[in-house]
């Protein structure tokens, strides 16, 4: 299969790219589309044969559920049944965060194929803020199933070039919408009513929408959703080894624990590139990349995370050493991803 990369850097080219994508999706194909988080591999969520092509292209196991993307909040009840006891909370949260990088897990509608949810009674739903993605899903007039556009378990792509490296020859079209501005996958939550006060919001996967962002809407807690070997995940991104480079990665909690092996080539994924952090001069790094140079801003680190990880994976090192990040705000999601990448 030949994979075409469609540019969108001119109104005419954008119109043509959207038209190509919608035509392929209507014909039951899957295409790679930009979102604000990472590039997604999209197919008509209501067409099981089309969804099966996502699993095949990614080599994704059928027990790992997909996220369903809507064109508008009003279409939520087409794919999910919102329990009456949390209906007002769901409305408040979606009105505030949609479109955006927040995914809700709700009881699924019978209209959603079991393949999308991996047989689970729940469905993960969100509404992307990316204007290109929104044009495609609106023009298609169907919800889209769209996990990240990479081989299963590998580094998520935040550019069209990264999708080419992952899926060239496996899918017919990649719509090039430039770099993703959030840089990591959406936050996934569930909502449980409480007898008194605001509902309980359980964070099933940390992401760009942080605990602090969610606290005005309920009591927030992080769920322990690390899926052990042999267990089936309840939401995307729960596999113990995930977001992993081909090069072995080590999360080095303390610089003094590093003992380089003679003849081994190391690369460094630095948080802010500061000498005072103690990592820069531990060895003669083959390559060193910094997530947020000097400032240590977590949103900037998130935007650069997968790009830097992919570059280090391709530099020829024998091992990637990663500095820890502060576990607050978006740092919670980044550390979760580093731990899963290191579990390979």
| Whether residues 144 and 292 fall in one domain | no
Ramachandran region, residue 276 (left: φ > 0; alpha: ψ -120 to 50; beta: rest): alpha
In this structure, the answer to whether residues 63 and 151 fall within a common structural domain is yes
pLDDT surpassing 70 at residue 238: no
Instruction: Give domain status of residue 100, yes or no.
Output: no
164 and 259 belong to one structural domain: no
Helix pair angle (298-313, 160-167), 10° resolution:
40
* pTM of the complete model beyond 0.75: yes
Is 99 domain-assigned? Answer: no
Same domain membership, residue 253 and residue 170: no
Residue 185 CA to residue 39 CA, distance in Å, equals 9
Q: Is 287 helix (H, G, I), strand (E, B) or coil?
A: strand
Q: Are residues 282 and 172 in the same domain?
A: no
Residue finishing a domain among 143, 176, 209: 176
Per residue in 67-120, pLDDT (tens digit) is 999 999 999 999 999 999 999 999 999 999 999 999 999 999 999 999 999 999
pLDDT confidence of 52, banded at 50, 70, 90? very high
What is the band of 334 on the pLDDT scale with cuts at 50, 70, 90? Answer: very high
Give the CATH number of the domain where residue 150 resides: 3.90.870.10
**For position 336, which CATH number holds?**
3.40.50.11030
What average pLDDT score do residues 221-226 get?
Answer: 77
> What is the model's pLDDT at position 240?
59
pLDDT in tens, 136-174: 999 999 999 999 999 998 999 999 999 999 999 999 999
Under the banding of pLDDT at 50, 70 and 90, the label for residue 227 is: low
pLDDT of res. 124: 97
Looking at 154, 176, 198, the residue that finishes a domain is 176
Do 172 and 254 have their domain in common? no
Range of the domain at 315: 249-342
Query: Does the residue 300 lie in any domain?
Result: yes
Q: State the sign of the Cα–Cα–Cα–Cα dihedral 212, 214, 215, 220.
A: negative
Say yes or no to pLDDT of 344 above 90. Answer: no
Q: Say if 190 falls within a structural domain.
A: no
Helix (H) or strand (E) holding 338: helix 331-342
* Distance separating alpha carbons of residues 70 and 109, to the nearest angstrom: 14
Residue 343 — pLDDT band, cuts 50, 70, 90?
confident
Residues 9 and 132 placed together within one structural domain of the fold: yes
Residue 288 lies in a domain: yes
Give Cβ neighbours of residue 13 (< 8 Å, ≥ 6 apart). Answer: 6, 7
Band of pLDDT at residue 232, cut at 50, 70 and 90: low
| 274 within some domain | yes
Residue 194 has a pLDDT of: 85
Please tell me the total count of domains within the chain: 2
H helical segments located in 150-235: 160-167, 211-214
């Amino acid at each position: 299969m030949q994979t075409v990369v469609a540019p969108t850097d001119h109104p005419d080219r954008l119109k043509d790219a959207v038209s190509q994508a919608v035509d392929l999706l209507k014909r039951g194909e899957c295409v790679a589309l930009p979102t604000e988080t990472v590039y997604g591999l999209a197919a008509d969520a209501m067409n099981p044969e089309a969804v099966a092509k996502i699993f095949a292209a990614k080599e994704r196991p059928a027990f790992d559920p997909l996220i369903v993307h809507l064109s508008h909040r009003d279409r939520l009840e087409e794919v999910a049944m919102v329990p009456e006891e949390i209906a007002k909370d769901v409305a408040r949260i979606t009105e505030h965060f949609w479109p955006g990088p927040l995914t809700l897990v709700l009881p699924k509608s019978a209209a959603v194929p079991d393949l999308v949810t991996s047989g689970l009674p729940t469905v993960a739903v969100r509404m992307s803020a990316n204007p290109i993605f929104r044009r495609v899903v609106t023009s298609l007039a169907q919800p889209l199933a769209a996990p990240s556009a990479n081989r299963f378990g590998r580094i998520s792509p935040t550019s069209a070039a990264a999708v080419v490296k992952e899926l060239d020859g496996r899918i017919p079209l990649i719509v090039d919408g430039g770099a993703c501005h959030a840089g990591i996958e959406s936050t996934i939550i569930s909502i449980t009513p409480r007898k008194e006060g605001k509902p309980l919001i359980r964070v099933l996967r940390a992401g760009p929408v942080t605990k602090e962002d969610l606290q005005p809407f309920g009591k927030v807690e992080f769920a322990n959703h690390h899926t052990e070997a042999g267990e089936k995940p309840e939401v995307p991104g729960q596999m113990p080894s995930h977001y992993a480079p081909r090069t072995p990665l080590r999360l080095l909690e303390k610089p003094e624990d590093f003992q380089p092996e003679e003849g081994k080539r190391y690369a460094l994924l630095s948080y802010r590139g500061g000498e005072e952090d103690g990592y820069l001069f531990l060895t003669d790094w083959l390559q060193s990349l910094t997530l947020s140079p000097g400032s240590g801003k977590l949103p900037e680190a998130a935007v650069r995370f997968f790009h830097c990880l992919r570059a280090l994976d391709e530099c020829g090192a024998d091992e990637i050493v990663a500095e820890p990040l502060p576990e607050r705000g978006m740092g919670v999601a980044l550390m979760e991803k580093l731990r899963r990448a290191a579990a390979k």
